[in-house]
Amino acid sequence: MSKADPEATPREFLPHDHAHCVSDAMAAAESLCAESGARLTPVRRRVLEILLEGHRPMGAYDVLSRLDAEGLGSKPPVAYRALGFLVDQGLAHRIERLNAFIACPHPSGQDHVAAFLICRDCGTVAEVPSAPPPLPAGFQVEQTTIEAVGLCTACADGPAT
Amino acid sequence: MSKADPEATPREFLPHDHAHCVSDAMAAAESLCAESGARLTPVRRRVLEILLEGHRPMGAYDVLSRLDAEGLGSKPPVAYRALGFLVDQGLAHRIERLNAFIACPHPSGQDHVAAFLICRDCGTVAEVPSAPPPLPAGFQVEQTTIEAVGLCTACADGPAT
DNA sequence: CTTGAAGTGTTACTTTGTATCATGTACGGA
DNA sequence: TCCGTACATGATACAAAGTAACACTTCAAG
Ligand SMILES: [Zn+2]
Ligand SMILES: [Zn+2]
Ligand SMILES: [Zn+2]
Ligand SMILES: [Zn+2]
């Protein structure tokens, strides 16, 4: 497994073998849950798959309508609970700016600090590793949200040719 | 006017002369709007005052109920429009984690990068100056959101004695 | 004064998120 | 094996947050 280069353009903004990217993340999720004892139930697993397949942020109700179509649940709490579980386990993240959720491309079990790059044109979101920003001593940080809105390389270069 | 020391405990977490802090910010807002030609109308001015007086994040509907009580408007769009104006002018900020708004304590006209420290115990929020975090080159950042949740000094020290 | 742009009032919705209680299901100990 | 407990799901019924659209008013520039 190669370490991510924090300088490089994130994979999300480039063409890539997405099926592979989904199966890798699912495998990682399975083994993390097995290890921690967390129960990756059918609904939860399917929600994670839906997020991974979408490969973009999805609202809770978007996820829910997928679940509903598949007979896995039709009421909001079903989706919110599964998403809450995934976020708690570090398998997905909530994008505050979008009221949406996205699968973590490199779940690690730890509660890693990440920054999200949100392209306002194509809607793609990339997760990049990040350090907690320097903050005044004295405030005891427990969780940090970093979200940047802007234009990805593709959208900045060729604005709808 | 003294420059903020990025290391010091933010004013918001300490006792301070709040009336003064309100009048300063209002004066700054007035002159910024005069300068830029933006129209600080009665509703907008009052919303800014409400935010400043509250000195804590307020939901749009919290603000709205204040406006309503004063006969300045009772329908959601009134509040959202005024808040939108203030955010556009850099006189207030939206706290994504809280779906809430807070007045900027040091409005500068420019669209400054700030981090928000959110105490999960007492609900106080401090705005501290911050640099945009290091991100991969290639993504054209236009706006950055940085929000940290945790415990302020007071709440970390004396947990509800 | 006219006129157009910006601001406000209001209706009627949409979207997002939860509290609560009932029901089901896995799993370890008696 | 049977039981109890903990956790997960199902379902109802709301609460909270946000917006589209349209009519009307205000205000400043020409
Ligand atoms: Zn992929
Ligand atoms: Zn893009
Ligand atoms: Zn500010
Ligand atoms: Zn506190």
pLDDT tens digits, residue range B92-109?
A: 999 999 999 999 999 987
Provide the H-helix boundaries in chain A. 18-36, 42-54, 60-69, 76-88, 153-157
End-to-end CA distance of chain B: 37
* Domain ranges within chain A, ordered by starting residue: 11-157
Nearest C-alpha of chain B: how many angstroms from A73? Answer: 27
Q: What is the pLDDT of residue A1?
A: 46
pTM for the model stands at: 0.93
C-alpha distances in angstroms, A119 versus A8, A122, A150, B137, B140?
16, 6, 5, 14, 9
C-alpha distances in angstroms, B152 versus A136, B94, B126, B149, B158?
11, 20, 9, 9, 10
The pair of structure tokens assigned to B153 is 């000094």
Which of chain B's residues have a Cβ under 8 Å away from the Cβ of A142? 120, 148-151
Which of chain A's residues have a Cβ under 8 Å away from the Cβ of B123? none
C-beta of residue B150 within 8 angstroms of C-beta of residue B123: no
pLDDT top residue among A18 and B46 = B46
Q: What percent of chain B has pLDDT over 70?
A: 94
Positions in chain D where some atom is under 7 Å from a protein CB:
7-13, 16-21
Q: What is the pLDDT of residue A69?
A: 96
- Average the pLDDT over A59-80 and give the result: 97
Nucleic strand C within 7 A of Cβ B46: no
C-beta of residue B130 within 8 angstroms of C-beta of residue B4: no
Give the nucleotide with minimal C1' distance to the Cα of B75. C10
Q: What percent of chain B has pLDDT over 90?
A: 77
Confidence band for A121, pLDDT divided at 50, 70 and 90: very high
The highest-level CATH class for domain B11-157 is mainly alpha
Q: Say if residue A21 carries a ligand binding annotation.
A: no
Q: What is the pLDDT of residue B6?
A: 64
Residues with Cβ–ion distance below 5 A, ligand 4: B 119, 121-122, 152, 155
pLDDT top residue among A7 and B84 = B84
The number of beta carbons lying within 10 Å of the beta carbon of residue A29 is 25
pLDDT top residue among B160 and A30 = A30
Residue with tokens 């570090």: A90
Residue B51: closest CA among B82, B27, B9: B82
> CA–CA separation, A55 vs A22, rounded Å?
9
Q: Residues B111, B112, B115, CA angle at the centre, nearest 5°?
A: 135
Positions in chain C where some atom is under 7 Å from a protein CB:
6-13, 15-20
A61, pLDDT greater than 50: yes
